[in-house]
Chains A and B, each alone.
Chain A
Amino acid sequence: MSAPISTAMDNLTAAIRSNIIPNQEYLLQGSVLDSAVEVLLHRLRGLCDNVDTGPETFNDHEMCFSIRGAEQPLLLRVRRALDYQDMPWQLRYIGQPELGDKSRPTIVRSSLDIATSNTVVDFLTELGCRLDFEYIARGYMFRKGRMKVTVSKIFKMGQQGKIPESMEAISQSYLVELSVLAPSGQDAIAEDMRIFAEQLKPLVQLEKIDYKRFVH
Chain B
Amino acid sequence: MQREEKQLDSALEAIIMRVNDLKTAIAAMIFKLEHEYETLNWPNFLDNFALISGHLTSLSKILGHDKAPNLRNLTVLPLRLSPEKDDELLRLTEGRIPTFAHDLVPDYLRTKVEPQAEQKMIQLEAKAANLNYETSHKQVAQYTKVINHVWDIANKAREEWESEAGSRATQAQTSSTADTHALVAAVGMGKGLKSDSVQMVQSGVNSVPSGMMVGRPGNQQQTPGQGSLGNPPMGQMNKAPSAIKTNIKAASQIHPYR
**Closest chain B residue to A130 by CB distance?**
B218
Verify B210–A173 contact, CB threshold 8 A. Answer: no
Partner-binding segment picked from B36-44, B58-66, B88-96, B167-175: B167-175
| Max chain B Cβ within 10 angstroms of own Cβ: one of A32, A135, A211 | A211
Q: A68-B221, A125-B211, A160-B204 are in contact. Are A204 and B185 (CB under 8 A)?
A: no
A193 located at the interface, meaning its Cβ lies under 8 Å from any Cβ of chain B in the complex: no
- Residue interface bits B172-200, CB-to-A below 8 A is 1, else 0: 11111101111111111111111011011
| Max chain B Cβ within 10 angstroms of own Cβ: one of A35, A135, A159, A171 | A171
Tell which of B189, B191, B217 touches A128, judged by Cβ atoms closer than 8 Å: B217
Verify B218–A128 contact, CB threshold 8 A. Answer: yes
A126 located at the interface, meaning its Cβ lies under 8 Å from any Cβ of chain B in the complex: yes
- Residue interface bits B234-258, CB-to-A below 8 A is 1, else 0: 0000000000000110110010000
Q: A130-B201, A135-B187, A205-B175 are in contact. Are A122 and B192 (CB under 8 A)?
A: no
Tell which of A64, A157, A209 touches B180, judged by Cβ atoms closer than 8 Å: A209
Verify A36–B211 contact, CB threshold 8 A. Answer: no
Q: A133-B197, A170-B183 are in contact. Are A128 and B214 (CB under 8 A)?
A: yes
A134 located at the interface, meaning its Cβ lies under 8 Å from any Cβ of chain B in the complex: yes
Tell which of A67, A159, A172, A214 touches B196, judged by Cβ atoms closer than 8 Å: A159
List residues of chain B with CB within 8 A of the CB of A160: 200, 203-204
List residues of chain A with CB within 8 A of the CB of B251: 67-69, 127-128
**Closest chain A residue to B180 by CB distance?**
A31
List residues of chain A with CB within 8 A of the CB of B189: 211-212, 215
| Max chain A Cβ within 10 angstroms of own Cβ: one of B203, B217, B251 | B251
List residues of chain B with CB within 8 A of the CB of A159: 196, 199-200, 203
List residues of chain B with CB within 8 A of the CB of A215: 185, 188-189, 191
**Closest chain A residue to B191 by CB distance?**
A215
| Total residues of chain B contacting the partner, CB 8 A | 45
A204–B176 Cα distance when bound, in Å, is 9
Verify B247–A211 contact, CB threshold 8 A. Answer: no
Verify A157–B200 contact, CB threshold 8 A. Answer: yes
Verify B183–A31 contact, CB threshold 8 A. Answer: yes
List residues of chain A with CB within 8 A of the CB of B196: 156-159
Give chain A interface residues in 91-148, CB to chain B under 8 Å: 122, 125-135, 137
In the assembled complex, the CB of B247 is this many whole angstroms from the nearest CB of chain A, namely 5
Tell which of A127, A131, A154 touches B250, judged by Cβ atoms closer than 8 Å: A127
B7 located at the interface, meaning its Cβ lies under 8 Å from any Cβ of chain A in the complex: no
List residues of chain A with CB within 8 A of the CB of B226: none
Verify B175–A33 contact, CB threshold 8 A. Answer: yes
A4 located at the interface, meaning its Cβ lies under 8 Å from any Cβ of chain B in the complex: no
Verify A133–B193 contact, CB threshold 8 A. Answer: yes
Q: A31-B183, A157-B200, A159-B196 are in contact. Are A133 and B190 (CB under 8 A)?
A: yes
List residues of chain A with CB within 8 A of the CB of B180: 29-31, 173, 175, 205, 207, 209
A202 located at the interface, meaning its Cβ lies under 8 Å from any Cβ of chain B in the complex: yes
Tell which of A35, A133, A154, A211 touches B181, judged by Cβ atoms closer than 8 Å: A211
A interface residue numbers (CB < 8 A to B): 29-33, 35-36, 39-40, 62, 64, 67-69, 122, 125-135, 137, 154, 156-161, 170-173, 175, 202-205, 207, 209, 211-212, 214-215
19 residue pairs of the A-B complex, CB under 8 angstroms, read A29-B180, A33-B175, A62-B187, A68-B221, A122-B210, A122-B211, A130-B218, A130-B219, A131-B201, A133-B190, A158-B196, A159-B199, A159-B200, A160-B203, A160-B204, A173-B175, A203-B174, A211-B184, A215-B191
With A132-B190, A160-B204 known, 11 other A-B pairs at CB within 8 A are A33-B176, A130-B201, A133-B197, A134-B193, A159-B199, A159-B203, A175-B180, A209-B184, A211-B189, A214-B181, A215-B191
A-B pairs, 8 with minimum CB distance: A133-B190, A130-B218, A173-B179, A36-B174, A128-B250, A31-B180, A133-B193, A175-B183
